[in-house]
Amino acid sequence: MSARGGLPWVLLAAVVIVAIAWAAWPDDARVSVAARAHDLAAELRCPDCEALSVAESSTPTARAIRRDLKRRIAAGQSDAQIRQAYVDAYDETILLEPEGSGLGVLVWGLPVVVLVLGAGGLAFALRRWKREPRLHATDADEQLVAKTREVDER
Amino acid sequence: MKAELGRFALIVGMVGSGAGVLCLATGLRRHDDRLLRLGRRYVFTVLIAAVLAVLAMEWALLSHDFSIRYVAENNARSTPTLFTITGLWSALEGSILLWLLVLGGYLAFAAHKFRSRANDPLVAWALLVGLCVALFFFLLTLLPANPFETLAVTPADGRGPNALLQNHPLMAFHPPMLYLGYVGFTIPFSFAVAALITGRFGEGWLADTRRATLIAWGFLSVGIILGAWWSYEVLGWGGYWAWDPVENASLLPWLTGTAFIHSVIVQERRGMLRVWNLSLVIATFCLTILGTFLTRSGVLNSVHSFTESPIGPWLLVFLALTAATGIGLIAWRGDRLRAPGRIDSPVSRESAFLGNNLLFAGLAFVVLLGTVYPLLAEALQDRRLSVGEPYFDRMATPLGVALLFLMSLAPALPWRATTSAVLRDRLLIPAWCGALGMIVAIALGAHGFTDVVVFGLAAFALAGIARQFALGTRAHHASSGAAWPRALGMTVRSNPRLYGGLVVHVGVVLIAVALAASSGYATRREVRLARGESATVAGYRVTYLGATTSRTGQNTRVSARVRIERGDHVLGVYAPAIKSFPGASGGIGTPSVRTGLLRDVYLTLISSPNERGRVTIGVAINPMILWLWVGGLTIGLGTLVALAPSARRLRRGRPVPTGQPGPSPEQPRALEKVHA
Amino acid sequence: MRHPTRWIALGIAVVVLLFGIVLATRVGDDPQAEASKSQLLDDPVPEFSVRTSDGTALSSADLHGRVVIVNFWNSWCLPCRDELPALKVFFDRHADDPEFLMLGIVRDDTVKAARAFVRERGIDWTIGFDQESVAALAFGTRGQPETFAVTADGVIVGYQYGPSTVADLERLFARARQGSA
């Protein structure tokens, strides 16, 4: 790719990277109590409904938990402590995301492993195809071509 | 009378499908064309039997015949007519009848379409497999899940359908549309198995089933979006997708099905990716059965909680048989399936499609893993845990973004190999549009890596699609001198498959943008208001005007009138409500939604007026929700366009010979006889 | 390696088989039975503090030394009304026992409505108001009525989800009494 041909692409890449960096820069205002409470609430399952998170549900228990989360954050408890307190009172099903330890490794790790294997397989296959020569004609192919030629010549 | 009629119809269907299977099997073994033609006819008995059974059940429902257990459990005298009719599919036994009806329809369609090829082993095997599936479902209705089971004592009134199902007329459309999708995949599956058995795994079976696959896919896509719409507008929890096990069960076959309809293009063009295509279509069918199993066996709890039923083991065995057959056939044929072609370059449309397959398969794997993980944990470690939205969002989002990227890129990539000059011509301007889109999005308030990338890719994709349409239209305008709109029509008609597909992609882009916008930028608040009081949420002022209580039969409905204003513009009076049924402990909330072009105002009544007359109202401002539904409609429209017959095909009046995708039926047999 | 397709198919078959076995073991599980378990069984009673009807504070420490039946309820819950006669019969039987305390904690209700209910129905046992739902969450409750049995040493040994009969309450009491010895 000549330098001149590549220039528009390099420019484009630069613009895109700057835009992403600008947008993705962590915003300090977001680490407020309310934001932390909301993030935690999104990770907890609402105990008296099916599969909704505490952040989404409007049942009395969910609202009580949201208030409780704010209280706990204000009291200085860490996210891990709060999660553990809820697991102690309810059970592990109160967490919507499996923990990363023990069996949890499977559910987080397997997809990554599968994707890496898939991408690796693809790269490997592409490289092998590039290196291997193109088709060899088999005897059956030669016969077919000969037969077709006969028909043409007739 | 009705129960007897229904049972009789089901027995006829079972015997008919069994006889058909025997007939076709014997005919195939003995190469007896007469038996093959006879076997084909049994497909129509399946359809007639299913129609009769459905009619019998509807008759029983409409006449409130409570001597039949299904009617007594799912219908009451007070049930409105529409919900009486839709009661056919509101519970397990009836929904199997619906499945049989749709299956009968698809099989009859296939039998009719291939009537001139009734003695073709490919067609015969395909019909045989289809009849085996029908036989299984008839067996289900006759043994574990009998819809026409009668009660010893006829109750005076029925229990009525589940309260949630009575809330909205949309209940009429969502399940049938999903079933038209699920069941439709039986046709390509049957043909795939037939192709493996007969050894004709070239492009013939693809061409034969292309339309059926596209129709099934279209229905499934629209069905899923309708489910999301129902979730949002009716269920009232404020969202449209909860990664609930039943929702995931409908998504899984859609994922592999979408990979399949793309991947077949490569096989048609270059004969490659055969193993992928066979695997994808077999996986899609197995996933529809798995989905039914997960939904109906009570193994996983969900919003769609159905009571546990005894068909779980049956479905599991059928699933095992189907998977074993599919995997076994592929293993048997082994590497003879592989095509001689190779992918020449990593930057080509073939490798884009291969990457597409991998990503969709990866996404399906992630969704499946998350859905069944609680079962795994319980089986292996006796631990109960749940996997919810945060997991799925975190895992699926990067894959979804990668797919969006491929979708923008692939239509512009040439086949085989390309040069950087070609890439520049085709991609540079759309890529700049993408960058511009990113900047505009940031200017409008977007933040976060994922959202900005999604908005940029959306602009990139739309620009690429616009470019393709523009090029085609300009060429037709130049060559035929037609006016621009007519040139556009001619362009689309010249290759409906491509342009229909591009329209579907537009729909997908709209949905992607709506997903990104509505999940990150919504505002939710609960406000407690006395009569006449207002609150302001994100620029919208809501005023509580008063509550009304109404009683219908045994149900009490409390609705609160709320006026919404923005600036000095009154947007209207909306009425979220809570309906309480005597049997249920809580009330069922009905949201009230003001749908706007850019934002929805979503109102829910959280608590009815307390002793001081104050109500608690949930107010959510959700951006861009409308575009989810517009995107869904666009996908449906694009599918219709893609199904239209090509102008060239119509003009010549007969199938086009090789050179076009989809060779005519006679040729593959000649070619494949040499290679097989 | 000849026929890699076959090996991949075999691998997938093994995975699918294992998966099928896992699914098969789960069929026939009763999801309803799961609801009657509490995470707190055999754990010490969690810290909480409620305000009683005469305005004094009652905390988990105050329960020590007595067998306690804790019942979460409120005035608008229909199953709570259903179980009220059973609660009364049970309470009357053991009211004179100095080593027994029955504590009804009101969750998710207004004080006014709860007091009115207590007055109307003639509820004699100790009532605590849990306005902030702190106790309700600490006990891992999902709704009401839920009943816990606590030994004199402060360990939760019994749990009932949903309305209780007199027999259920006696069973819980016996277990707590046993655990206190």
Let me know: does B587 contact B579? Beta carbons within 8 Å: yes
The token duo for B655 is: 């199938």
Q: What is the ipTM of this complex?
A: 0.80
Could you tell me the fold of the domain covering B1-160? Answer: Four Helix Bundle (Hemerythrin (Met), subunit A) (1.20.120)
Domain boundaries in chain B? 1-160, 523-626
| Residue of B406 and A143 predicted with greater confidence | B406
CATH dotted code for A3-94: 1.10.8.640
Which of B17, B220, B198, B14 minimizes the C-alpha distance to B119? B198
Between CA A45 and CA B374 the distance in angstroms is: 14
User: Do C17 and C106 belong to one domain?
Assistant: no
What pLDDT, on the 0 to 100 scale, is given for residue B675? 36
Mutate to test the interface with A, among C1, C18, C39 (most CBs of A within 10 A): C39
What pLDDT, on the 0 to 100 scale, is given for residue B307? 52
Q: What is the pLDDT of residues C11-60, one digit of tens each?
A: 888 888 888 888 887 766 555 555 567 788 888 888 888 998 888 898 88
Reported pTM? 0.88
Let me know: does B518 contact B623? Beta carbons within 8 Å: yes
Residue where the block lists tokens 């923990």: A99
Let me know: does A14 contact B446? Beta carbons within 8 Å: no
Q: How far is C134 from chain A (nearest CA, A)?
A: 7
**CB-based burial label for B487 (10 Å; 0-12, 13-18, 19+):** buried
Output DSSP code: residue C47. Answer: P
Q: How far is C20 from chain A (nearest CA, A)?
A: 18
Which of C106, C124, C108 minimizes the C-alpha distance to C50? C106
User: Do C59 and C136 belong to one domain?
Assistant: yes
Contacts of B337 in chain C (CB under 8 A): 5
Give the long-range contacts of residues B550-554, CB within 8 A, separation 24 or more.
Answer: B553/B78, B554/B581, B554/B582
Between CA B166 and CA B74 the distance in angstroms is: 11
Phi/psi of residue B208, each to 5°?
-65, -35
Q: Is the peptide bond before C145 cis (omega within 30 degrees of 0)?
A: yes
What pLDDT, on the 0 to 100 scale, is given for residue C38? 79
Count of C-beta atoms within a 10 Å radius of residue B61? 26
Let me know: does B127 contact B198? Beta carbons within 8 Å: no
Is B650's Cβ below 8 Å from some Cβ in C? no
Let me know: does B661 contact B265? Beta carbons within 8 Å: yes
Closest CB to B365 among A102, A114, A144: A114
| pLDDT for residue C1 is more than 60 | no
What rounded mean pLDDT belongs to chain A?
81
Between CA B343 and CA B272 the distance in angstroms is: 9
CA angle, residues B588, B593, B599, in degrees to nearest 5: 140
Phi/psi of residue B203, each to 5°?
-95, -5
Domain boundaries in chain A? 3-94, 104-153
Domain that holds residue C16: 1-29
How far is residue B161 from each of residues A4, B84, B583, measured CA to CA in Å? Answer: 70, 9, 12
The token duo for B301 is: 């709890």
What rounded mean pLDDT belongs to chain C?
85
**Range with top average pLDDT, A25-39, A119-133, B463-477:** B463-477
Burial C24-59, CB ≥16 within 10 A → b, else e: bebbeeeeeeeeeebbbeeeebbebbbeebeeeebe
Output DSSP code: residue B150. Answer: B
User: Do C117 and C140 belong to one domain?
Assistant: yes
Q: Do A97 and B388 touch (CB under 8 A)?
A: yes
User: Do C8 and C41 belong to one domain?
Assistant: no
Is C79's Cβ below 8 Å from some Cβ in A? no
Output DSSP code: residue B234. Answer: I
Q: Pick out chain B residues at pLDDT < 70.
A: 163-167, 171, 298, 301-309, 554, 581-587, 647-676
Contacts of A48 in chain C (CB under 8 A): 142-143
The token duo for B75 is: 């219908």
Between CA B396 and CA B291 the distance in angstroms is: 19
Number of domains in chain C: 2
Contacts of A61 in chain C (CB under 8 A): 108, 133, 136-137, 141-143
Q: Do C9 and B298 touch (CB under 8 A)?
A: no
Q: How would DSSP label each residue in B357-408?
A: HHHHHHHHHHHHHHHHHHHHHHHHH-------HHHHHHHHHHHHHHHHHHHH
Between CA B590 and CA B168 the distance in angstroms is: 10
Closest CB to A51 among B242, B369, B448: B242
The token duo for B439 is: 């900047």
Q: Do C5 and B275 touch (CB under 8 A)?
A: yes
Burial B250-273, CB ≥16 within 10 A → b, else e: bbbbbbbbbbbbbbbbbbbbbebb
What pLDDT, on the 0 to 100 scale, is given for residue B650? 54
The token duo for B564 is: 């919404």
User: Do C16 and C49 belong to one domain?
Assistant: no
Closest CB to A64 among C43, C136, C139: C136
Let me know: does B458 contact B509? Beta carbons within 8 Å: yes
Between CA B368 and CA C22 the distance in angstroms is: 14
User: Do C143 and C111 belong to one domain?
Assistant: yes
User: Do C163 and C97 belong to one domain?
Assistant: yes
Closest CB to C137 among A65, A87, A91: A65
Query: Can you say whether the dihedral through the CA atoms of A51, A53, A54, A60 is positive or negative?
Result: negative
